Amino acid sequence: MQKTNFREQFTNVADACALAQSIVDTVREPVVVLDKGLRVIAASRSFYSAFEVSPEETQGKLLYALGDGQWDIPKLRLLLEKIIPEHGVMENYEVEHEFPDVGIRTMCLNARQVLFKEGADTTILLGIEDVTVRRTLEREKDDLLGQKDILLEEIQHRIANSLQIIAGIILMKANTVSSEETRTLLQDTHDRVISIAAVQQQLNASGTIGPIEMVSYLTRLSDALATSMIGDRPVTMKVVGDGGTLNSRQAESIGLITTELVMNSLKHAFPRADTKGQIVIKYEIDGTDWELSVADDGVGKQDGVFAQPKTGLGTGIVKALAQGLNATVETLSGLGGTTVSVTHATFSKADIRAA
């Protein structure tokens, strides 16, 4: 009858020992077999090769005495003398140590206590994975990512400064021209450059890597727009809404849409410099859908600005940015003011009303 297990296959002790040693030698990572006194019973060929020691100076020796004490490592003592006796097993226990012949090594240790039914003394199997190269590469990657973030921040800072300089030059030019139409166009251009600079600065403050928390981002943007565009006018702005995050590209588009709508409100809803009023920026989410609205309580219109057959530059910018976000634009205007909503949804409002 064919033998089906180790006990039946290897009744000879010498054969069983040869099998055990072959298994140890086959493992690619260094493996050491220790007796209960922590003396080396056997070690794999990969152990001898990795740590540049020979079987003659290893087998039968106390682990801590190997190589003139190079394995007398406090963390290793803790593993073998306390953790293993208490728990029987330990996985992924990382140790860093400098060896005289091979230098600094970071090792991931895995150990298991082996108990025998026939009364043989307890042994410990100690697996040693050299993760030095992996940890070095991880540190180098982290350093490169840190340098990239610093470089990106510096580039963004310079872009914002350059935009501020360009805006200043445009404003200076606007103050020197005699044509009222040209002055108005230059002032509008100045406001748009300032708005782009504000969006970039707030994105940088929010962190361009990873998700952008939208209400916090829009709040900072609102404060910047109030400083640059409202000034001493008796118009206030506030941001309300839910949480939620978007990626930096989406947040940038929403920031530009917001600035265009705020500029539009200041121009049309509050045409006089002494007109009091409020602009409310609201951001709401529903799962993966979101809605941005900018509402004012100024001079309303019976026909929404964006319902006009021919639209201005600001309207065109908003509609183009909304299209890039797969969003729709809707304007509601009346005697109580104007509200412009930009909605990203996988379902229509008609479906919601029907439900």
Domain boundaries, the chain: 6-130, 136-354
The CATH superfamily of 136-354 is Histidine kinase-like ATPase, C-terminal domain (3.30.565.10)
* 8 A C-beta contact, residue 123 and residue 114: yes
- The pLDDT score that the predictor gives to residue 79 is 81
Q: How far apart are CA 319 and CA 303, in angstroms?
A: 17
Q: Which residue has the higher pLDDT, 344 or 166?
A: 344
End-to-end CA distance of the chain, in Å? Answer: 73
97: nearest Cα among 54, 143, 137, 51: 51
Q: Please check the confidence at residue 291 and state whether its pLDDT lies above 90.
A: yes
H/E stretch holding 123 reads strand 123-130
At 180, is the secondary structure helix, strand, or coil? Answer: helix
pLDDT in tens, 248-277: 888 888 988 998 898 888 888 888 888 889
Mean pLDDT score, 243-249: 84
- The pLDDT score that the predictor gives to residue 353 is 43
Residue partners of 210: CB distance under 8 A and separation at least 6: none
- The pLDDT score that the predictor gives to residue 1 is 45
Q: Which residue has the tokens 């006194």?
A: 37
Q: Which residue has the tokens 């044509």?
A: 179
Q: Which residue has the tokens 């539009």?
A: 264
- The pLDDT score that the predictor gives to residue 55 is 84
**pTM assigned to the model:** 0.53
* 8 A C-beta contact, residue 283 and residue 292: yes
pLDDT in tens, 5-53: 545 554 555 655 666 666 666 667 888 888 888 888 888 888 888 877 8
Antiparallel, parallel or unpaired: β 245-246 and 277-286:
unpaired
Segment of 22-26, 78-82, 311-315, 341-345 carrying the highest mean pLDDT: 341-345
Mean pLDDT of the chain: 78
pLDDT in tens, 164-205: 777 777 778 788 888 888 887 887 777 777 767 777 666 666
Residue partners of 190: CB distance under 8 A and separation at least 6: 167, 170, 171, 174
State residue 94 phi and psi, 5-degree precision.
Answer: -95, 135
Write the CATH number of the domain with boundaries 6-130: 3.30.450.20
